[in-house]
A and B are shown apart, each in its own frame.
Chain A
Amino acid sequence: MDPCELVETGLKLSHRAGADEAEAFFLEHSSLAIEVRGGKLETLRQSKERGIGLRVLKGGSLGYAFTSDLSSSALTEAAQAAVANAACVTPDEARLFPAPADWDRALAQYDPAIAGTPIEAKIDLALGIEQAAFAHDRRITKSERAAYEEGEYQVAIANSHGLKAGYRGNFCGGYAWVVAEEAGDSETGSGLFYTTKLGELDAGAIGREAAHEAVRLLGAKPIPTQKLALVLPPQAATQFLGILAPALTAEAVQKKRSLFAGRLGEQVGAAAVTIIDDGTLPGGINTSPVDGEGVPTQRTTLVAQGRLENFLHNAYTAAKEGKRSTGNGTRSSFKGAPEVGPTNMFIAPGHAAPQELIAGVDKGLYVLDLMGTHTANPISGDFSLGATGILIEHGRFTQPVRGVVIAGNAITLLKEIQAAASDLRFYLGFGSPTLVLGPLTVSGA
């Protein structure tokens, strides 16, 4: 069935079940993942799934139900369940569905080359990533995994106010995770790259990056506890941004779960810090014409040179404050209502090359890998992460380091950012240039 007709049917059934207002969201998602190891195809996964989610308003309360069975009886049951769920939810006048607005079809990013390339060529791409890692250095002894992945989605949204939107998009990417061994020591390294254009995917670069990281860590040793400047390349810096992101949503602020609450207009970070969310970013992995509730996406400056300027909003959080949604009603599945979340969120780049910044560090730690980022407390911002990296002494890389712990708070850390380099790079939805922070205490042996 045509997605647009399907969401119209969903609306009709919701009204018939007793909804005052309704919204229907359809998502079809196909994916392909190819993993190779030791020059052989190890796993290939292919999928196609679709489903519909119904949000209904009844007496000021919102209820939700979904189904991946698209038969009319299952849709009818879902509509009735959504209305029944609304009955047990506390009414809230800020719950509303957005009005229709003009949206830009050109923001739907669809590369026909991704769907048009035969599967054999994609297997070769994954094999190429692995080969590049082995060819880079003879100390690369194992490949945990090298992979090619792609995704394609089709979205349709409609609500009782006459809002109608639909688009499709796709992306692809690859990654590698390899092990280097020498003199009884073994270290892992990873490389990862995702893009909306198949032509931009460079298998060799991904493999070499993983190999380079693993080899660099060979001979890593613990160091004593000390104060060190931290140099975070984009891969590590984006992990910190990921810890910070929830606190920049209006949802966290309104629910008193953000340490940024009540601080709009204040200096929350060093002057080197500008944080932007941009759902319209050309080539961004999360770029789309509209968000999960049909609101056009936009570019929002959250922190400008250290000053807190905005929070991310969806229709609900915006209505609570009499503001406009920033188009951040994110939705990754038909199984749940829109949340508030980042699209393409990044720390703006500075002008200096990363090498220049490293050369200016007297005593520091260049962080290659962080362990335990998912254990960071999203409410308090407190984190304590295991790290591996390379010691910087007098502007030069010296000893590889492992087994150290970096503890602190992601929010207070913003004030510690001394400089941002020019090398902005994205890891899926988060981007950052190389950052220099501190000095901070690094706990070691």
Chain B
Amino acid sequence: MLLTKGDVETVLGEALAGGGDLAEVFVERRVTSTIALEGQRIERANSGLDQGAGIRLLADESSIYVFTNDLSLTGLKAAAQAASAALKEKTPGRKVIQLRPELAARPLAVTRGDLAAKVAVVFTAEKEARAGGDAIRQVMVSYGDSEQEVQIANSKGMLAADRRYRTTLVVNVVAGEGNEVQTGYESLGGTAGLELLTSDRVRELGARAARRALLLLKARPAPAGRMPVVLAGEAGGTMIHEACGHGLEADIVGKEMSVYAGKVGQRVASELVTVIDDPTLPGKYGSFSFDDEGTPAQKTVLIENGILKTYMYDLEWARRHGKDSTGNGRRQSFHFPPIPRMTNTYLAAGGTPPEEIIARTPHGLLVKRMGGGQVNPTTGDFVFDVAEGYLIENGKVTVPVRGATLTGNGPRALQAVDLVGTDLGFAIGTCGKDGQGVPVADAQPTIRIPELVVGGLL
């Protein structure tokens, strides 16, 4: 436990001294280690300790957030007083806070490697990527791990603690031929220790990144226009995350910025589509035991057979809408107030074998790996990069293409999905929203969308 129960009670009482409906303290201590390789040499090794506390005060529809990295009782009381002072209408009357016994996460058994073991992992990935041949011009490998200890309490008596270990390995490969330069990117991560990075997985990661960069060198420019698009399971769920997930976050819905606002109980997608958010999946990158407001992690079915079931709630938006939190209140760190966020989000597997989906598609684009994307939640319009794409001709996968982007509308694309595969592939990422990045995983089976706009290099 980072702070004593008595100190937490004092700080919460101080925050509520001038009024307000709910006070909350989030205390965090995070120890990180990163190693970066580039040009066949270890370029950087960094380690750090960041600790601090965020105090949140909710009053009517206002939210006040003050953070500090002074964890002394004096420092915390000063932050609580600053929060209280920012209240516009004061309703003094000190409240006595009594916290319940602390709820703690089940301890995770993780392997904590030493610096030398981490360096070995990095070199293994590099060596495997280099094996791609002379066209491989540059290999960058980044290793990162963190141990995040959090303690969360609020004036309703909630007191919880979680300890999250995360490990990631990222490989970037630059391949070139003449003036042509292409890149391949692969990442692996989870709520785990060094045991995640087995030698087989690390080698596979390096080789895959190299293969992708080399493939793009040989790829021809993508065609432009409207066509059927098959998103492979291994493409990960970026599309679901961006084009659907964000619109199901309660804050975006509550601000009437979502195309899904007011549509609970209605058909919003093809009946083949079931979308789930689940931070309880063991070891996935977006997993946790408690969210960053102390709500226990839970599996939430967002869309079931095309029918919208619920949005993703944190405490504040649950309070505003008269619902319970779905355990989606997350924050990047003590520097930020929690907001509704996705965790591990996926489109559930369906009944058609992936190879059959391709065979049933006379022509179109197969997306094997998604790149970055962006979506306007108000309209649902999206644009995505395709990191690895192929033409489908006469029901067969033929040549690789590059420079493809997908432009479309999330709700319309989900309505149109006409085939859903039996596979399920995960990808990890750091989801950015309101300037906060949180670790997420997303997944999908192979799916077919009968028509999307493909913008290629013309």
Within 8 A of A (CB), among B82-131: 82-83, 86, 88, 115-116, 119
Contact of A229 with B by CB under 8 A: no
Residues on the B chain within 8 Å of A43, using CB: 62-65, 337
Write the chain B residue with the least CB distance to A92.
B41
Residues on the B chain within 8 Å of A85, using CB: 45-47, 115
A394 to chain B, nearest CB (A): 25
Q: Do B383 and A371 touch across chains, with their CB atoms under 8 A apart?
A: yes
Across chains A and B, the number of contacting residue pairs, with CB separation under 8 Å, is: 196
Please tell me the size bucket of the interface on B: 35 or more
Residues on the B chain within 8 Å of A142, using CB: 255-257
- CA distance in complex: A43, B436 (Å): 15
Q: Which of B12-20, B262-270, B370-378 contacts A (4 or more CB under 8 A)?
A: B370-378
Q: Do B405 and A384 touch across chains, with their CB atoms under 8 A apart?
A: yes
- CA distance in complex: A40, B64 (Å): 13
- CA distance in complex: A51, B47 (Å): 13
Contact of B394 with A by CB under 8 A: no
Contact of B48 with A by CB under 8 A: yes
B229 to chain A, nearest CB (A): 15
Within 8 A of B (CB), among A81-114: 81-82, 84-90, 92
- CA distance in complex: A385, B403 (Å): 11
User: B62 is contacted by which of A44, A84, A382 (Cβ under 8 Å)?
Assistant: A44
Contact of A49 with B by CB under 8 A: yes
Q: Do A37 and B372 touch across chains, with their CB atoms under 8 A apart?
A: no
What 0/1 pattern do residues 281 to 301 of B give for CB contact below 8 A with A? 000000000000000000000
Q: Do A69 and B405 touch across chains, with their CB atoms under 8 A apart?
A: no
Residues on the A chain within 8 Å of B379, using CB: 186
- CA distance in complex: A409, B38 (Å): 25
- CA distance in complex: A253, B337 (Å): 39
Residues on the B chain within 8 Å of A90, using CB: 41-43
Write the chain B residue with the least CB distance to A177.
B257
Write the chain A residue with the least CB distance to B39.
A255
Residues on the B chain within 8 Å of A337, using CB: 44, 46
Contact of B429 with A by CB under 8 A: no
Q: Do B182 and A84 touch across chains, with their CB atoms under 8 A apart?
A: no
What 0/1 pattern do residues 19 to 51 of B give for CB contact below 8 A with A? 000000000000000010011011111111111
A44/B50 contact (C-beta < 8 A), A375-B385, A379-B174, A407-B458 known: no
User: A37 is contacted by which of B255, B337, B383 (Cβ under 8 Å)?
Assistant: B255
Residues on the A chain within 8 Å of B86, using CB: 44, 46, 119
User: A335 is contacted by which of B38, B48, B458 (Cβ under 8 Å)?
Assistant: B48
Within 8 A of B (CB), among A73-87: 74, 77-78, 81-82, 84-87
A407 to chain B, nearest CB (A): 6
A64/B44 contact (C-beta < 8 A), A69-B49, A407-B458 known: yes
User: A405 is contacted by which of B47, B183, B405 (Cβ under 8 Å)?
Assistant: B405
Within 8 A of A (CB), among B378-421: 378-379, 381-385, 403, 405, 407
Contact of B158 with A by CB under 8 A: no
Residues on the A chain within 8 Å of B383, using CB: 371-372, 375, 384-386, 405
A51 to chain B, nearest CB (A): 7
Residues on the A chain within 8 Å of B224, using CB: 225, 443
Q: Do B69 and A256 touch across chains, with their CB atoms under 8 A apart?
A: no
Contact of A402 with B by CB under 8 A: yes
Residues on the A chain within 8 Å of B182, using CB: 380
Q: Do B374 and A44 touch across chains, with their CB atoms under 8 A apart?
A: no
Main secondary structure on B side of the interface with A:
strand
Q: Do A66 and B68 touch across chains, with their CB atoms under 8 A apart?
A: no
Residues on the A chain within 8 Å of B458, using CB: 225, 407, 441, 443
Contact of B457 with A by CB under 8 A: yes
Within 8 A of B (CB), among A383-408: 384-386, 402-403, 405, 407-408
What 0/1 pattern do residues 30 to 65 of A give for CB contact below 8 A with B? 000000010011111111111100000000001111
- CA distance in complex: A225, B457 (Å): 12
Residues on the A chain within 8 Å of B35, using CB: 88
Q: Do A65 and B47 touch across chains, with their CB atoms under 8 A apart?
A: yes
Contact of B137 with A by CB under 8 A: yes
B10 to chain A, nearest CB (A): 20
User: A407 is contacted by which of B42, B255, B455 (Cβ under 8 Å)?
Assistant: B455
Please tell me the size bucket of the interface on A: 35 or more
- CA distance in complex: A385, B407 (Å): 9
B259 to chain A, nearest CB (A): 10
Residues on the B chain within 8 Å of A257, using CB: 138, 174
Residues on the A chain within 8 Å of B51, using CB: 68-69
Q: Do A88 and B115 touch across chains, with their CB atoms under 8 A apart?
A: yes
Write the chain A residue with the least CB distance to B41.
A90
Write the chain A residue with the least CB distance to B256.
A142
Within 8 A of B (CB), among A121-176: 123, 142, 144
Contact of B181 with A by CB under 8 A: yes
Q: Do B48 and A66 touch across chains, with their CB atoms under 8 A apart?
A: yes
Q: Do B378 and A186 touch across chains, with their CB atoms under 8 A apart?
A: yes
Name the residue in B48, B181, B381 with the highest tally of chain A Cβ atoms < 10 Å from its Cβ: B48
Residues on the B chain within 8 Å of A428, using CB: none
Contact of A67 with B by CB under 8 A: yes
Q: Do B372 and A372 touch across chains, with their CB atoms under 8 A apart?
A: yes
What 0/1 pattern do residues 290 to 313 of A give for CB contact below 8 A with B? 000000000000000000000000
Residues on the A chain within 8 Å of B43, using CB: 89-90
A261 to chain B, nearest CB (A): 10
Q: Do A68 and B407 touch across chains, with their CB atoms under 8 A apart?
A: no
Q: Do B116 and A46 touch across chains, with their CB atoms under 8 A apart?
A: no
Q: Do B138 and A51 touch across chains, with their CB atoms under 8 A apart?
A: no
Name the residue in B82, B174, B374 with the highest tally of chain A Cβ atoms < 10 Å from its Cβ: B374
Name the residue in A43, A89, A92, A384 with the highest tally of chain B Cβ atoms < 10 Å from its Cβ: A384
Q: Do A50 and B174 touch across chains, with their CB atoms under 8 A apart?
A: no
Q: Do A41 and B62 touch across chains, with their CB atoms under 8 A apart?
A: yes
Residues on the A chain within 8 Å of B382, using CB: 386
Q: Do B374 and A375 touch across chains, with their CB atoms under 8 A apart?
A: yes
Q: Do B42 and A51 touch across chains, with their CB atoms under 8 A apart?
A: no
- CA distance in complex: A44, B49 (Å): 27
Q: Do A47 and B66 touch across chains, with their CB atoms under 8 A apart?
A: yes
Residues on the B chain within 8 Å of A323, using CB: none
Write the chain B residue with the least CB distance to A33.
B65
Residues on the B chain within 8 Å of A42, using CB: 61-63
A74/B45 contact (C-beta < 8 A), A256-B137, A403-B381 known: no
Contact of A445 with B by CB under 8 A: yes
- CA distance in complex: A372, B386 (Å): 13
- CA distance in complex: A371, B406 (Å): 12
Name the residue in B71, B225, B255, B456 with the highest tally of chain A Cβ atoms < 10 Å from its Cβ: B255
- CA distance in complex: A3, B384 (Å): 46
A-B contact pairs, 5 of them (CB 8 A): A69-B49, A88-B45, A144-B255, A403-B453, A445-B226
Given A90-B43, A372-B385, A384-B405, 7 more pairs with CB closer than 8 A: A44-B64, A46-B82, A64-B46, A88-B45, A335-B50, A384-B385, A384-B457
User: What 7 pairs between A and B have smallest CB-CB spacing?
Assistant: A375-B372, A405-B455, A90-B41, A85-B45, A386-B383, A384-B405, A66-B48
Instruction: Please report A residues at the B interface, Cβ cutoff 8 Å.
Output: 37, 40-51, 62-69, 74, 77-78, 81-82, 84-90, 92, 119-120, 123, 142, 144, 179, 186, 188, 225, 255-257, 259, 335-337, 371-372, 374-375, 377, 379-380, 382, 384-386, 402-403, 405, 407-408, 441, 443, 445
